[in-house]
């Protein structure tokens, strides 16, 4: 997750986080219920740095399906003998 001031403030209170979590309360939900100002964190993983452009979901899925189709066709050539044989 991308750290912001809201997250930094919670990270400065590990005992409070533990207390809430031990009770089954998610800290951000606690803040919502208390009426505290919340700057929702942006959840992301390491791959977030590789994103080059923002695409509609349909375009992403179409790209994934096209790539999967290409890979399945390539895999099929190995099963049917269509691949170039090694000369080793």
pLDDT at residue 28 greater than cutoff 60? yes
First to last CA, the chain: 49
pLDDT for residue 44: 74
Average pLDDT estimate for 4-26: 93
Distance (Å, whole) CA 16 – CA 26: 11
- Going by C-alpha positions, the residue among 24, 47, 27 that lies closest to residue 36 is 27
pLDDT at residue 29 greater than cutoff 70? yes
Distance (Å, whole) CA 81 – CA 59: 33
All structural domains of the chain with their residue ranges: 1-52, 53-88
- Per-residue pLDDT tens digits for 36-60: 988 877 767 777 777 888 899 999 9
pLDDT at residue 81 greater than cutoff 60? yes
Distance (Å, whole) CA 85 – CA 88: 9
- Going by C-alpha positions, the residue among 26, 24, 35, 31 that lies closest to residue 6 is 31
Predicted confidence band of residue 82 (pLDDT cuts 50, 70, 90): low
Mean pLDDT for the chain overall: 87
């Amino acid at each position: 997750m991308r750290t912001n001031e809201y997250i930094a403030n919670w990270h400065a209170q590990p005992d409070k986080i533990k207390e809430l979590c031990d009770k089954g309360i998610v800290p951000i939900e606690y803040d919502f219920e208390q009426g505290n100002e919340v700057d929702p964190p942006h959840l992301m993983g390491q791959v977030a740095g590789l994103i080059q452009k923002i695409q509609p979901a349909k375009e992403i899925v179409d790209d994934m399906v096209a790539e999967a189709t290409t890979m399945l066709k390539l895999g099929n050539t190995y099963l049917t003998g269509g691949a170039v044989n090694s000369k080793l």
